[in-house]
Structure 1
């Protein structure tokens, strides 16, 4: 049985760099220091991120994604039968995004989030049809 180890989220964030002006065109290389894997979990992992800006569309075909805002705020936009549903989340709030639902983040003032994200993740810069 693998050994369990406690993880300090604050310590993990001390190693993450704030990404200013995230956009759908931001490359993985440009964003790599703003995201960190805290732990593997089931078919994905527990991640943290610290950024301001707007993400590309994404979805997770293998399972639900758990989002918790730790600081700041974000609007999560979920596509529900091609209709955009907006969810404003502030520190301390969570949202579970159902499996296969396209979604994106709008965080112009900055946000720190923790996610439990199944893999693989599909991405789209363009509005998914």
Structure 2
């Protein structure tokens, strides 16, 4: 059994660089410094990120994703039955995204977010058809 170590989330943000104007076309290489893995967890990990802009669509087929806004604000859009459900989130708020649901972030001003994300993650630049 490995030793557990306490993590101070705010100090972990010193490991990331603010990514300005993220777009669905932003590559993993361009975005890599805006994200940090805090810990492995089950079949995925716990991550922090700091960026502004708009993400691509994504979904996680192996489990629910936990999203907590730690600073700033975002609109977390879930695609359900082909319709967009817009969730306005600001610092201190969280949302659990059900397994397999396509979603994306709109954060024009900027957001600091922590997620517990199962893997693998599927991505789509274009709005997916269906759920």
Q: Give the TM-score of the pair, scaled to structure 1.
A: 0.99
Q: How many residues in Structure 1 have an aligned counterpart in Structure 2?
A: 129
1:103 is aligned to 2:122: no
Partners of 1:14 and 1:111 in 2: how far apart? 15
4+ long deviations beyond 3 Å: none
CA RMSD of aligned residues (A): 0.4
- For residue 75 of structure 1, what is the aligned residue in structure 2? 75
Query: How do 1:23-102 and structure 2 match up within 5 A?
Result: 23-102=23-102
Query: Tell me, what secondary structure is at the counterpart of 2:49?
Result: strand
- For residue 112 of structure 2, what is the aligned residue in structure 1? 112
Partners of 2:52 and 2:108 in 1: how far apart? 5
After TM superposition, give the deviation of residue 3 of structure 1 in Å: 0.6
Deviations 1:51-75 (A, max 9, x none): 0000000000000000000000000
Unpaired runs of 5+ residues, structure 2, are none
Partners of 1:88 and 1:76 in 2: how far apart? 6
Partners of 1:57 and 1:111 in 2: how far apart? 17
Partners of 1:18 and 1:63 in 2: how far apart? 28
Partners of 1:41 and 1:94 in 2: how far apart? 18
Query: Tell me, what secondary structure is at the counterpart of 2:79?
Result: strand
After TM superposition, give the deviation of residue 41 of structure 1 in Å: 0.2
After TM superposition, give the deviation of residue 120 of structure 1 in Å: 0.1
